[in-house]
Chain A
Amino acid sequence: MFRQLLRLVLLSGITLAASAELARDELGKVETLPLPYPNDWVIVHDVAFDHMSLGKFIVMDINGKKISEFFKGSFDGGNLAAFAQASKKPEMYVLEHYYDRGARGNRTDLVTIYDKATLMPVDEIVLTGPKRAEMLVSKFIISLIDDEKFLLLYNFTPATFVTVIDLVKREVVNEVQLPTCAGIYPTGKRGFSSICSNASMISFQLDKNGKVAKQSKIDPFFDIEKDALFERPAIIDGVGYFPSFAGNVQEINLQGDAAEPGEKWSLLGTEDKSKNWRPGGAWLAATDSAKRLYVMMHENGGEGSHDNPGSEIWVFDTGRKARVNRIPLTLPAIAFDITAGDSPKIVATNVEMNLEVYDAASGEHVNTIKDFYHSWPLLVYASP
Chain B
Amino acid sequence: MKQKLNVPRLFRERYRRILGDEVKVLVDYCFKPLRKSIRINTLKIDVDECVKMLESKGWELKQVPWCSNGFWVENRNEEQLGNTLEHFMGYYYVQEASSMIPPIVLQPEEKDFVLDIAAAPGSKTTQMAEMMKNKGCIVANDIQIQRIKVLRFNLEKLGVINTVVTRMDGRKFIKFKERFDKVLVDAPCSSEGIMRKDWKAFSRWNIKFIKEMAKLQKKLVDAAAVTLKRGGVMVYSTCTMSPEENEAVVDYAVKKHGLVVEKVKVKGLKARHGITEWESQQFDESVRNCLRIWPQDNDSEGFFVAKLRKE
Binding partners A and B: no
Please list the residues of chain A having a beta carbon within 8 angstroms of any beta carbon in chain B: none
Please list the residues of chain B having a beta carbon within 8 angstroms of any beta carbon in chain A: none
